[in-house]
Amino acid sequence: GAVVSQHPSRVICKSGTSVKIECRSLDFQATTMFWYRQFPKKSLMLMATSNEGSKATYEQGVEKDKFLINHASLTLSTLTVTSAHPEDSSFYICSARAGGPEVGEQFFGPGTRLTVL
Amino acid sequence: GQNIDQPTEMTATEGAIVQINCTYQTSGFNGLFWYQQHAGEAPTFLSYNVLDGLEEKGRFSSFLSRSKGYSYLLLKELQMKDSASYLCAVTDSNYQLIWGAGTKLIIKP
């Protein structure tokens, strides 16, 4: 099956620092990658959708200058949380889709737990 | 607006059967997914329904009625490892995936 990796799995940082999270599709080319965040006992919240080689599309309420997304290749997307604050502490999950939107199924990475002190 | 409803929490006994319901109101429909998510982990794919009827996969089955905007996930021969949250998600007319809040399933011995 399709495998998506995320790195790091867990990160603790001080307030004001920036954190980069990598998402890689290991055995397929991901035309589209998605970034979600999930607070405890809450549902997944889509933050942005990124297509390889183009700018990410952010969901309403998500600050694109704070959450920088780069989808430089068909196997790698990165999310950078800039000037992180305690309220940014959350579980960040990426997913990848191999084909067009009609394909539907997204393959999820294992997630990154961010704690901002 | 778009909405997906599923129960917040359910409890069942090991070895028994449980049905988790999901109703949806979305702008268009291009498929319904069920995912399993253990605490602290990312979701894993369970099933996909795009046509009406029952899809069976081992101990898990998923049913869809598009006319009723309704689906259920049926888990048989429950095991303790089935304790998890079960997420219902619908792809709308724009192929955007709309997520339900998830149903936390607690399995008791």
For residues B19-30, average pLDDT: 95
What was the pLDDT predicted at A43?
A: 80
Chain A nearest CA to B46, separation (Å): 11
**Which amino acid would we find at residue A47?**
M
What was the pLDDT predicted at A36?
A: 94
What was the pLDDT predicted at A28?
A: 87
Chain A nearest CA to B42, separation (Å): 5
Residues of chain A where predicted confidence (pLDDT) is lower than 70: 1, 100-104
List, in order, residues 6 or more apart from B13 with CB less than 8 Å away: B78, B107, B108, B109
From A46, A93, A104, residue closest to B31, measured CB to CB? A104
Chain B residues with at least one Cβ partner in A under 8 Å: 30-31, 33, 35, 40-45, 48, 87, 91, 94-95, 97, 99-102, 104
What was the pLDDT predicted at B47?
A: 92
Pick from A95, A81, A110, A96: which is nearest to A45 by CA?
A: A95
The answer to whether A109 touches A6, Cβ cutoff 8 Å, is: yes
Q: Is A65 on the interface with B (CB under 8 A)?
A: no
Task: Report the mean per-residue pLDDT for chain B.
Answer: 94
Contact A113 B40 (CB under 8 A): yes
Q: Buried b / exposed e across A62-98, counting CB within 10 Å, b at 16+? A: beeeebbbebeebbebbbebeebeeebbbbbbbbbbb
The per-residue DSSP string of chain A comes to ---EEEE-SEEEE-TT--EEEEEEESSS--SEEEEEEE-TT---EEEEEEETTSPPEEPTT--TTTEEEEEEETTEEEEEE-S--GGG-EEEEEEEESS-GGG---EE---EEEEE-
For residues B39-50, average pLDDT: 89
For the stretch B62-102, pLDDT in tens is 999 999 999 999 999 999 999 999 999 998 887 788 889 99
Is B39's pLDDT higher than 90?
A: no
For residues B28-47, average pLDDT: 91
Chain A residues close to B35, C-beta within 8 Å = 108
Q: Phi then psi for A87, rounded to 5 degrees?
A: -70, -10
List, in order, residues 6 or more apart from A98 with CB less than 8 Å away: A2, A25, A28, A29, A30, A31, A107
